[in-house]
Structure formats: structure tokens, C-alpha cells
Chain A
Amino acid sequence: QSVLTQPPSVSGTPGQTVTISCSGISSNIVINTVTWYQQLPGTAPKFVMFNIDERPSGVSDRFSGSKSGTSASLAISGLQSEDEADYYCAAWDDSLNVAHYVFGTGTKVTVL
């Protein structure tokens, strides 16, 4: 089944902006909304962006999302140590007869 492709890692110094990409195909990212999840070490995932660019209550406005064609992105501006975590994109995939929810491969964000 489909998978969304992310870079294994990105890093930045405090205050910098980092961007995580998420590459999919026509049956997922192109036609469906994208969600981003943050997973801090040893904890359950938490959604930090939904409907491509909407932030849930309590999530810093330093997080922003976008989508273009078969790719989506999550940007974190003003990078802080608390942002160090694994991030996963996700989307519903409407492949014929095998509809399923698909996660990205995950990106580890490191604050240098």
C-alpha cells in the first residue's frame, strides 16, 4: 500500500526555520487533506496541523502547513528546543479497493 515520503532528518539552530517535506501521489495528497503529527520521545503522537494549514488550539503559530500538487510541507519557524521530535505527515489514500490511512516515513527534527 502507499506510503508518504519524508526526509529522515532535518536540523537547525534555535531561531532558524526548518521545513519538512512530504511527498505522495494522486490518490492521497492531491485529493485529500494532510495532517501533521508530532511525537516527542516516549510519548503518543499529537496532531499539530490539520486540513493542510490549520493549527489546533494550543499549537504555536510558529508551525505552518502548505500543499502543492503531490507534496505537502510543514514549516517550523523560530525553532526552539521543545520542537525536537519526530514529525509524521498523513493523509487518507483512496486507491481503488484499498482505501486506507497512510503515514509518512517520519522526520526527526534536531535542534543543534
Chain B
Amino acid sequence: EVQLVESGGGLVQSGGSLRLSCAASGFTFSGYWMSWVRQAPGKGLEWVANIKQDGSEKLYVDSVKGRCTISRDNAKNLLFLEMNSLRGEDTAVYYCAREREDYYLDVWGRGTTVTVSS
């Protein structure tokens, strides 16, 4: 079964850091671009970042540039999102998703919740 499972969310103080992980199974992880998408409470979806199959290309939404780093470990089928200088507006459910060639996200995890307190 194709599956993505996020972990690493939690409660963190403003200015703090957190590292999210996403464990992939049931498919050849190294063959796909991967994305992180977040959803603030009661709000819509916001794409956060994506990373190429070999990690050589990474793109970020403006609001996290310089504060977040996406990375992957293809040997362990893991995707990461390192988040620093966290702000209240980073409070959200963070989903990892598999990206297909025609720019759509076909497999999603259940999400992990990040809460930034002031």
C-alpha cells in the first residue's frame, strides 16, 4: 500500500525550531518529487516547499524562505522539513505529499500538527 506518514509536530515557542519527518512506503520514493503542504486552523491549503528526486532542486513559498529547509534521505525513504524561527502564523497541520510529473499531488499523508505559542 502506498503510504506517507508524518511525524515530529508539536507545541513550540515562538522563535523555536522543529523538524518534521515523513516516512514513505509502498512505492519507489527516490523516483518522485515530494512536497510539503500546510493548513492553518480553519484556513485553506498552502504549498510550502518541494524537492527533486535527488535533492538537487528545492523550491519554497516566500513566507518560509530562509527559515525552512526541505531535505530527503532516499536510502531511508524519508522526507524532512526543518523549520526555524517559528512564528504564530506557522501554526498548521503539515502534510507531505507525492508529486506527479503533471504537477499534481496524488498521495497525501494524514498530517502532523505544529502549534507555535507566543
Name A's B-contacting residues (CB within 8 A).
Answer: 1, 32-33, 35, 37, 39, 43-47, 50-51, 56, 86, 88, 90-92, 98-106
- In the assembled complex, the Cα of A106 lies from the Cα of B45 at a distance in Å of 8
Chain B contact residues: over half helix, strand or loop, or mixed? strand
9 further interface pairs, Cβ-Cβ under 8 Å (given A35-B104, A44-B95): A33-B104, A51-B102, A56-B106, A86-B44, A90-B105, A91-B103, A92-B103, A100-B61, A104-B44
Do B47 and A101 have beta carbons less than 8 Å apart? yes
CB A94 to nearest CB in B, in angstroms, measures 10
Contact between chains at B103 and A44 (CB < 8 Å): no
Q: How far is the CB of B86 from chain A (nearest CB, A)?
A: 20
Instruction: Name the B residues within 8 Å of A98 (CB-CB).
Output: 62
Residues of B within 8 A of A92 (CB): 103
**Residue B82 at the chain A interface, CB threshold 8 Å:** no
Contact of A32 among B44, B103, B106 (CB under 8 A): B103
The answer to whether B47 touches A102 (Cβ under 8 A) is yes
Interface flag for B109 (CB, 8 Å): yes
Bound CA–CA A1/B61 (angstroms):
8
